[in-house]
Structure 1
Amino acid sequence: MMKYTLIQVVFILLTTTTIVISEENNNENPIALLVNNDQPKVNITCLCTDDEECDQNSHTCRLTESYHTCYASWALEQSDGLVHYTAGCMHNEYLFTRLMCSLNKTDRYIICCSQRNECNDLDAYSKEIRQALLSPLSPNILASHQPPNSYSTLIIIIITSTLGVLVCIGVFIIIYIKQKGLINNRAAFHTKKFAYVDDNKKQNLFQRFLKCFYCRDRLSRINDGCIPSDQSLTGLLDELSTSTMGPALPLLMQRTLAREITLEEVVGAGRYGSVHRGKWREDHVAVKIFSANDERSWFREIEIYQTVCLRHENLLGYIAADNMDASTYTQLWLVTEYHENGSLYDYLMTHTITIPTLIKMMLSIASGLCHLHMPIDSTNGKVALAHRDLKTKNILVKKDLSCCIADLGLAVKEVRCKPKSRKDLLLANASDQEHVVIDIQANNRVGTIRYMAPEVLDGTLNDRNFESFKAADIYALGLVYWEILRRCQISSTENDAEKYQVPYEDVSQGNPNADQMRDIVCVKKHRPPISERWTTHPIVRPLVQLCEELWIEDPTCRLNSLNIKKQLKKQLELLENDLSYINIESQQQSTQNNGPWTA
């Protein structure tokens, strides 16, 4: 009883100190009044500038969740040296909203609030803020300060609280020691009446105690963001990742891990930025560094990777994300698993494959896409996703020559909103019991034109039906399968694989625009050519027929990813039963190829 009383006294002293200090800060520091310390509210209207996502015909936006927030941001652009002001709503997940609201750096100052309507309607031309951003070496005039008269009161409160806490801790230690002495005396008395059957059971109990103590200590270090010095990356992911989690690691541990990575060589580049091979302790990782003007793509890809139950062996494994200061600008890092074989595009350019490897690659891609497309209805269920940019450059080849799908920055989610309670479910109409929202993030990037489905090219895709996005992925999957088929060696005596080509290279070289591809795919109804050697082989012929069913013009007639996965599993079983293919060695023959253009 005395222990709980002491805890209450310590809690009251600390609470009183916090309240007094907060009142002093809020009364004396006008800048502190701009930051929201109230309980978050919903249905709050925020000021919205023209370059943000505003409500239609309005300069406002609305908060729909308790963790959403209004914001006002002053950013110093390196291109023109001017301070740009933006305001709007931040609709990201809770952890990243908190992260952004605390990101006041030398080139950006942000204020978040949600206590009242248009709480972010602040002075866009604030002289103090602009002076602080334009003169980063000068004293930060935005920092909170205390007037001279408040220091004496604050010092007295701190000294009194500290002495009170120390006295309480001392009393608690004395009581604890006395109680421990009594417990030891009782244990010595009862030991005479209690004996183990044998020494093994005693040892097992001791081992359980050590294991429990080890797990508790490890859990406390994980919550603090600490990573044991002897921990490998594979062991860390296996220990912390579960099927019900979105991210593999806690947020603090992600930031700790990212700051311990050493960048090595550049292994890829694109519109988003560059991909580096990095090293964390003894393990290699891939670090995708986004350019500063592609911040939305970085946020979107992190948000997709945070999806519950997303982790799958045929989806690129997400490890961490962080923003790193690089002297005059900020780098946006996305850390994932590293696969030394690179993309499927690069691998097919320099290697041929055998029939077993062909089916293994096709099945692994179908498995990853099936996991993306399929929702999981449960308490911690997974939403359905569509990739929207499936191609060989966004598929990686693993060490065992299976594949995993990467680059989820353009993915779209199908969010099913159900009634929150049973009462709401009974009152709702049958048509209102489940409301479907298609979550498409505004983004300047578009998919790859060569892989766009006919309905995307001619503008007939129904963007209110999520099945339309899944069908567009299936069309692109058929083109990817065709590329793999070309590099497959069918003959057991010679390498009869064709030279690598991107889809429609035979009718359109270079980088075609949307109008040219629309004329090829929608008007002329052209599809990739089928080789004669494929149609005469008993194992490959069904795979060719599968491709033709995937790129059919009518999206409603295309197979879904689950049926594709089942068909390929059946082909793999037939192949395993055919002993003539079991002992075929994998052909990884390098070929001389100038390499096609960027698709």
Structure 2
Amino acid sequence: MFFFKNVVMDAFRCSKYLILILSIFWRLDFAHGLRCYCNFESCPNSTCETDGYCYAATALENGLKKHTYHCWDREKIFPPGDKPIWCRKEESVDIYCCATDYCNRDYLPESNTSATAWQVLPWIMGLMVLGVCAAISLWWARRSPKVLKRESRSLFAPEDSCCETRHSMMTATIRDMIELTTSGSGSGLPLLVQRSIARQIQLVDIIGKGRFGEVWRGRWRGENVAVKIFSSREECSWFREAEIYQTVMLRHENILGFIAADNKDNGTWTQLWLITDYHENGSLFDFLGARTIDANTLVKMALSIATGLAHLHMDIVGTKGKPAIAHRDLKSKNILVKSNLTCVIGDLGLAVRHNVSSDSVDVPSTNRVGTKRYMAPEVLDESMDSRQFDPYKRSDVYSLGLVLWEIARRCGAMPDEYQPPYYECVPPDPALEDMRRVVCIERRRPVLPNRWHSDPVLSAISKVMKECWYQNPAARLTALRIKKTLANIATVDHFKL
């Protein structure tokens, strides 16, 4: 029995190596660069040359499959010097990359219209060997019904379960899939599922613009999603934000829900997509500019933001633990309002992670900096020790204090008009010198209206603000302490969420 199995395995190995050697022999050519099959109009004789990879891609457009064949130059590969991250075999079945002449032409059978008999011959030989092996295996199985029955269970049960999984994926919502694959607390969907979702999304309308690119509302099987489209020069920011969102154990009800990251070739340039949950109320900045709130909503919003920040700052120890993360750009424009008026923290492109084992800080390579208006004094005067992690957390707490001030101004019977922090001291788009003068030299902070002192909720929250924006970073509250203080305000006898 064991001898027979070894013979069959040797036959398989021989056929595989024979096909590989013949393919290399017929395609080897030292006189030119890597030649690839190309179906672009700009390619002469359906051929392009590159110093990188050939690729074949399949995408869904209006319910129809579209096949693309082209060259991928080495200078466009990310990360540099390696196979493109979205072409690694274990991560995708939609994009196929290879590095021998015309190797991408044979990836999809229907596209191989110009194959010659010599190109087909290795495959015929391989199939013949496999056919002989299959016939011998069938003959042996018939002689041993018990063996056949046992092997049937092992061979077909996984296939059945795979079909069931595929069926459930076709009918599930995004939330169902996230709960199925991550138990609600993991790092997001598997990369294969991410790419599948991204290629089925239809962009509906644009809902925002920023220095990174645009944000669109998209539709996926009747569900709204937010699609953040990065420009090609912001590739590092896109990669970093996707990487942070997929940190293990990051998923939380007060952190913007990550769905997928993908790249989309629109024919002229490559779009970099980051797909997240969609919240129709938009950013906290837009919400406060259009609406006033009551004390109940004030505490609900403040507590949810503090809870999200405390989760970011917390490190969870374990084999699949979560590192502590600092946001570095916390502001009302980077906080979204959910339908129940609680908030989620988004835009993690500038976030830093704490490496506990080496006590070092993982800082992104992007040249972007935080928003000047929300920068802490130690960041403005460059006195912060960027090699330690705690200063980053304390800087986030300072920014949180300013956000709480923005929310509180819109609360009460006679709310104030919405204004950003330090609106009375600096221009609408302040320079670093403006903020440094006001915050570091003059040591000014946002003004607390007199009416807050007579309101128990506003008075309590104003005390929290003051403890967030101390000039001395070490004197500021931690995010966890702020969360507990706000939770106590929410549970007093005369005030219930």
Pairwise CA distance, 1:163: 2.4
Contact 1:93 1:303 (8 Å CA) reproduced: no
Change (3 A) 1:5 1:273: farther
Q: Partner of 1:303 in structure 2?
A: 243
Q: Partner of 1:473 in structure 2?
A: 396
Contact 1:307 1:382 (8 Å CA) reproduced: yes
Change (3 A) 1:295 1:87: closer
| CA deviation map 1:304-359 (0-9, x unaligned) | 11211111110001101111111211111111101111000011111111111111
The answer to whether 1:438 aligns with 2:361 is: yes
Pairwise CA distance, 1:183: 9.7
| CA deviation map 1:141-199 (0-9, x unaligned) | 776899xxxx8887665334322322333444455567558999xxxxxxxxxxxxxxx
Q: Partner of 1:29 in structure 2?
A: 28
Q: Distance in 2 between matches of 1:449 and 1:561?
A: 21
What SS does structure 2 have at the residue aligned with 1:159? helix
| CA deviation map 1:89-115 (0-9, x unaligned) | 75999965838999999xxxx999xxx
Q: Distance in 2 between matches of 1:467 and 1:18?
A: 55
| CA deviation map 1:425-482 (0-9, x unaligned) | xxxxxxxxxx222111111221111000001111101001100111110100000000
The answer to whether 1:281 aligns with 2:221 is: yes
What SS does structure 2 have at the residue aligned with 1:539? helix
What SS does structure 2 have at the residue aligned with 1:335? strand
Gaps of 5+ in 1: 36-71, 75-82, 113-139, 185-208, 418-434, 490-494, 584-599
| CA deviation map 1:496-528 (0-9, x unaligned) | 111101000011232110001100100111100
What SS does structure 2 have at the residue aligned with 1:334? strand
Q: How does 1:264-413 map to 2 (within 5 A)?
A: 264-413=204-353
Pairwise CA distance, 1:22: 3.5
Match among 11, 14, 38 for residue 12 of structure 2: 14
Q: Partner of 2:58 in structure 1?
A: none
Contact 2:142 2:148 (8 Å CA) reproduced: no
Pairwise CA distance, 1:31: 7.4
Q: Distance in 1 between matches of 2:101 and 2:120?
A: 23
Q: Distance in 2 between matches of 1:378 and 1:440?
A: 22
Q: How does 1:210-225 map to 2 (within 5 A)?
A: 217=160, 219=162
Q: Partner of 1:235 in structure 2?
A: 176
Contact 1:227 1:253 (8 Å CA) reproduced: no
Amino acid at match of 2:468: L
| CA deviation map 1:7-51 (0-9, x unaligned) | x5554333323333434455653679999xxxxxxxxxxxxxxxx
Match among 556, 560, 565 for residue 478 of structure 2: 560
Give the TM-score of the pair, scaled to structure 1: 0.67
Pairwise CA distance, 1:569: 1.1
Q: Distance in 1 between matches of 2:224 and 2:310?
A: 28
Amino acid at match of 1:498: D
Change (3 A) 1:9 1:32: farther
Change (3 A) 1:325 1:315: same
Comparing 270-279 and 232-241, the one that deviates more: 232-241
Contact 1:388 1:469 (8 Å CA) reproduced: yes
Q: Distance in 2 between matches of 1:323 and 1:19?
A: 34
| CA deviation map 1:277-308 (0-9, x unaligned) | 00001111000000111111000011111211
Q: Distance in 1 between matches of 2:101 and 2:148?
A: 58
Q: Partner of 1:198 in structure 2?
A: none
Q: Distance in 2 between matches of 1:96 and 1:533?
A: 56
Q: Partner of 1:533 in structure 2?
A: 451
| CA deviation map 1:51-96 (0-9, x unaligned) | xxxxxxxxxxxxxxxxxxxxx879xxxxxxxx99589975999965
Amino acid at match of 2:261: A
Q: Partner of 2:432 in structure 1?
A: 514
Match among 113, 132, 137 for residue 167 of structure 1: 132
Contact 1:373 1:384 (8 Å CA) reproduced: yes
Pairwise CA distance, 1:415: 1.4
Give the TM-score of the pair, scaled to structure 2: 0.80
Contact 1:243 1:311 (8 Å CA) reproduced: yes
Change (3 A) 1:18 1:544: same
Contact 1:17 1:158 (8 Å CA) reproduced: no
Amino acid at match of 2:281: N
Contact 2:79 2:85 (8 Å CA) reproduced: no
Change (3 A) 1:157 1:14: farther
Amino acid at match of 1:239: L
Q: Distance in 1 between matches of 2:33 and 2:90?
A: 16
Contact 2:141 2:148 (8 Å CA) reproduced: no
Contact 2:287 2:337 (8 Å CA) reproduced: yes
Contact 1:388 1:411 (8 Å CA) reproduced: yes
Change (3 A) 1:411 1:182: closer
Q: Work out the number of aligned pairs and report it.
A: 449
Change (3 A) 1:183 1:102: closer
| CA deviation map 1:516-569 (0-9, x unaligned) | 110010011110000111112222212101100001111111111111111111
Larger C-alpha radius of gyration, 1 or 2? Answer: 1
Pairwise CA distance, 1:243: 5.4
Amino acid at match of 1:98: R
Pairwise CA distance, 1:244: 5.9
Amino acid at match of 1:245: G
What SS does structure 1 have at the residue aligned with 2:289? helix
Comparing 335-344 and 89-98, the one that deviates more: 89-98
Q: Distance in 1 between matches of 2:169 and 2:91?
A: 29
Contact 2:15 2:129 (8 Å CA) reproduced: no
Contact 2:373 2:435 (8 Å CA) reproduced: yes
Change (3 A) 1:87 1:359: closer
Q: Distance in 2 between matches of 1:412 and 1:365?
A: 18
Q: Distance in 2 between matches of 1:332 and 1:145?
A: 26
Identity rate of aligned residues, in percent? 39
Amino acid at match of 1:270: G
Q: Distance in 2 between matches of 1:141 and 1:169?
A: 32
Change (3 A) 1:511 1:92: farther
Gaps of 5+ in 2: 35-50, 54-72, 107-115
The answer to whether 1:262 aligns with 2:252 is: no
Pairwise CA distance, 1:231: 1.9
What SS does structure 1 have at the residue aligned with 2:229? strand
